[in-house]
Structure 1
């Protein structure tokens, strides 16, 4: 499932989908059992039965929902005849929610259904049911101790002080070389056989012949990469430039490009070229600003099917 790959970034969406699934499943069970309530009514009705007449605010705090959400749900319950709003006997200035006789009767008949739900969930989910409940308990406590917004904003402030760093080849980052390049190739073109060969063994095919591979790191995360391929006789190709599209605006692409040009100069290279595609306007602009000049024709014997732009470095 796509959302699974997004991990923490999609936790709200995944929990929402899971919540909707449980609501729908329980509603279907209630309908099949002839119950007169809906699954979303359960927390409020059960709390009122267990505690007695209570204010909307107290219900909201107890079940972890907003005052507005509980108030709207209370309106529905009043319309359904399950709940009534009445003056608080102890404080006539405020109103409380109380179960009606119809609400009491509806809940009183649900014992067998709730037992079936408990056992059915245990059968369907197995030990994961207890794991899920324990995880929810733990998350609720952790979020009460350290609210999520505060934690995220602290991290964001810390990250704002970080700068992109470019580091040379490290075998520990080899999969990022493949990942970042494959990501943009699949988005804009397709992965060619030459790409796959290079991804399979970059150390032998790039580093060993005298080339270089660089990685852009942001707060320890690999967000970009590029390669300097040695063609022989002092001729080098700038290739495999890939930056995670979620980290635009940090200057990672230009820093990688500058590192590759510096490496070419250190190697006393006599010619540096690249092949690209006219659809990649942003990248072509960066290459031009760095000193690459577009040639009138594509490179003779071009490596790639996708290449329709040939550029040669002329300085500064």
Structure 2
């Protein structure tokens, strides 16, 4: 399921989908059993049935909905004859909700259905349903103790203040090397066999022949990577350069590129080249600004079907003199 792959980013969407599913199931059961009630009415009606006349604000606080949402639902219930709504004699600005005779009669006939809903949920969800209820209770408690907006904005501020680091390869980063490259290759092109080999085993196909792997990391999040492949003694290829598209604009690509070029010089490299594709205009401009020069035609030893651009790095004159 796509939303599941987005984890916390799609939490609201996933809960909404589950909510709609359960509302729909309850409505279908109510209709099948001839009950004169809708699933979305349940929290307000049940609260009034158990607690007696209550203000809109009290109901909203008890069931975790906004005052506006409860007020609108109360209007619907009043039109359906399920409740009565009147001004609070102690405070004319507030509304007091009371079950009408129709509402009381309807709820008093739902015992079998509610019992069946409980049992059916257990039968359908099993232990997962029990764990879901426990997790929901824990989630509600946690949100009361620390609002999620406050927590998210604190994390955002911390990430904005965090330095962008370029770090070398370590085994724990192998999954990020695959993830970042597969993400953009599958979007713009396809994973060729040589890509699959290198991404699945970078220690063998990059580090083993004398290459290097670099990663851009921000506040512990790996957002970019690139590889320096040793084609032959002193000759290197800049490859697998990519940055997570949702982190573009932070300078990670250029910082990775500069670090790769610095690594090339540190190794005493004689030639540095890259292959790319003419569709990747933003990347090509960055390569040109860093000193890569477009060559006529493609590289004779090209590894990739998608490659139609061949560039060779020309070090600044001051650096060449060194």
**TM-score with structure 1 setting the length:** 0.97
Post-superposition Cα deviations, 1:137-177, rounded to whole Å, max 9, x if no partner, equal 11111110111111111111111111211111212211211
SS of equivalent to 2:287: helix
Q: Which residue of 2 is the match for residue 115 of structure 1?
A: 115
SS of equivalent to 2:6: helix
Matches within 5 A, 1:136-155: 136-155=136-155
> Where do 5+ consecutive residues of structure 1 fail to align?
none
Post-superposition Cα deviations, 1:6-57, rounded to whole Å, max 9, x if no partner, equal 1111110000000000000000000001000100001111111111111111
Q: Which residue of 2 is the match for residue 95 of structure 1?
A: 95
Structure 1 residue 54 and structure 2 residue 72: aligned? Answer: no
Q: Which residue of 2 is the match for residue 198 of structure 1?
A: 198
> Where do 5+ consecutive residues of structure 2 fail to align?
317-322
In structure 1, how many angstroms separate the alpha carbons of the residues matched to 2:89 and 2:51?
A: 15
Deviation at 1:224, TM superposition (A): 1.0
Query: Are the equivalent residues in 1 in contact too, given 2:56–2:70 (CA < 8 A)?
Result: yes
Q: Which residue of 2 is the match for residue 292 of structure 1?
A: 292
Q: Which residue of 2 is the match for residue 42 of structure 1?
A: 42
In structure 1, how many angstroms separate the alpha carbons of the residues matched to 2:100 and 2:159?
A: 54
Q: Which residue of 2 is the match for residue 186 of structure 1?
A: 186
In structure 2, how many angstroms separate the alpha carbons of the residues matched to 1:255 and 1:17?
A: 41
SS of equivalent to 1:126: helix
Q: Which residue of 2 is the match for residue 85 of structure 1?
A: 85
The alignment's C-alpha RMSD in Å is 1.3
In structure 1, how many angstroms separate the alpha carbons of the residues matched to 2:147 and 2:218?
A: 25
In structure 2, how many angstroms separate the alpha carbons of the residues matched to 1:143 and 1:233?
A: 58
Post-superposition Cα deviations, 1:259-315, rounded to whole Å, max 9, x if no partner, equal 111111112111110000000011111101101011121111311100011111112
In structure 1, how many angstroms separate the alpha carbons of the residues matched to 2:160 and 2:87?
A: 53
Query: Are the equivalent residues in 1 in contact too, given 2:59–2:70 (CA < 8 A)?
Result: yes
Query: Are the equivalent residues in 1 in contact too, given 2:56–2:94 (CA < 8 A)?
Result: no
Task: Sort the Cα spacing of 1:34 and 1:191 in 2 relative to 1 into closer, same or farther, 3 A.
Answer: same
Q: Which residue of 2 is the match for residue 279 of structure 1?
A: 279
Deviation at 1:93, TM superposition (A): 6.1
Deviation at 1:233, TM superposition (A): 3.5
In structure 2, how many angstroms separate the alpha carbons of the residues matched to 1:178 and 1:239?
A: 13
